[in-house]
Structure 1
């Protein structure tokens, strides 16, 4: 059976990555977390003080050619993790500090151009599930299946807050909610590849759904799309 390209876009903390990973596993497709790529670049920028306390975007842009990103499989966990210049940074890129700056870094045109090129190369053979902010509109505008995920800011903040607490971070719910709302605003209004629903994407609001219900609905719909394309 021929494979397709699946593009999953949506707001932060809508569970895009969780759904995409599970869907890719069920279909035996490749999964790519583009958010991890932007987070890794943000971590690089923070570590080199190009963003954060000081801001030096031109220097960050000048150093982009020295940023090497790679997904490496973790056989114990059964998933791939992000490596930045040869170092596993999966835990570091999921911190609140990175979350506070990733949307700003993602607005930089040169950063987006570099990562979009990487992402398009990854998907040349199809059989891929990729999630992010502009997958269906910019990276794979011709994807056979496009999904746009959404949920209320409060629901998403609650999910994110629980994740951060489980990782041992010292944060408050109000901090997380403000971060979610700020990222929504930046992602949706940036000049380069803003977050928006592709015209041919299906909108999926999972505010009141559990993980299993979400997966079953999307998985069944995906199988129908795959059959229609064969």
Structure 2
């Protein structure tokens, strides 16, 4: 069984998908980390970020894997390296490149073969796994998402304002929803889950109910 969680930045997709997969004993695919890993390798090898064909080939030539909540490229743990501001900036042109997205779609489809999977991103239910048994568009109001991000930044000791976060969030939403390939949208037939006023535990419990309703006998599968 495949569960997809799509939605805008700050909606809680990653934390929700990770916890849902943990509760189910299923494999969690962090697609954002995968694009970051490709961008990290491209920078480390001096490949120009606008060389779409080379980066698409690169994506299919490396091995990205997840283990115990860590991200690996080959045998190298890149979990920390891919979370720097430099990689964040480099990931956008990589993720926006049509050839790269097509390559990543093939990679993600192969990774999902024969296992129970929870995956999250912008286009998982609309483009990568359109026939997934449960597709969810997870979102919240712009103000709610910005407040959550502000609290995260404060907890990390960073200085910012709600206005700054809202402005950056609006720009990212526009870019994600208007790009040529893999645009963020609610997949046709997907469940809409607006999480304003919900605590994370309530979101996970509701999703577990939806999973049970669609596949009562779904059990754990080996974690890659």
Q: Give the TM-score category using the shorter length.
A: 0.7 to 0.9
What is the CA distance between 1:69 and its match in structure 2?
4.1
The Cα RMSD (Å) is 2.6
The counterpart of 1:182, out of the listed 160, 164, 171, is 171
Give the C-alpha shift of residue 181 in structure 1.
1.6
> 1:161–1:42: structure 2 CA closer, same or farther, 3 Å change rule?
farther
1:39–1:158 distance in 2 versus 1, CA, 3 Å? farther
Q: What does residue 92 of structure 1 align with? A: 81
Q: Of residues 32, 35, 39 in structure 2, which corresponds to 1:35?
A: 32
- How far, CA to CA, are the matches of 1:37 and 1:14 in structure 2? 19
Are 1:16 and 2:13 an aligned pair?
yes
What are the Cα deviations for residues 29-85 of structure 1, in whole angstroms up to 9, with x where unaligned? 1111111111222334455676xxxx7512x532443452422423xxxxx222235
> Partners of 1:85 and 1:181 in 2: how far apart?
36
- Structure 2, unaligned runs of 5 or more: 219-224
Q: What's the counterpart of residue 77 of structure 1? A: none
Q: Write the deviation string for residues 184-225 of structure 1: whole angstroms up to 9, x where unpaired.
A: 111100111211111110011112211111111111121111
Task: Report the CA distance shift for 1:168/1:149 in structure 2 as closer, same or farther (over 3 A).
Answer: same
95-104 or 34-43, which moves further after superposition?
95-104
Q: Quick one: structure 1 residues 197 and 228, their matched pair in 2 at CA, closer, same or farther if it must change by over 3 Å? A: farther
* Aligned match of 2:222: none
> Could you tell me how far apart the structure 2 residues matched to 1:149 and 1:83 are?
27
Of residues 37-46 and 107-116 in structure 1, the stretch that sits farther from structure 2 once superposed is: 37-46
In structure 2, distance between residues paired with 1:73 and 1:7: 20
Alpha-carbon distance change, 170 to 37 in structure 1, aligned in 2, over 3 angstroms? farther
Task: Give the aligned partner of residue 5 of structure 1.
Answer: 2
Normalised to the residue count of structure 1, the TM-score between the two structures is 0.82
Query: Could you list the runs of 5+ residues in structure 1 that have no partner in the other structure?
Result: 75-79
Q: In the TM superposition, what is the alpha-carbon distance from 1:138 to its structure 2 partner?
A: 1.1
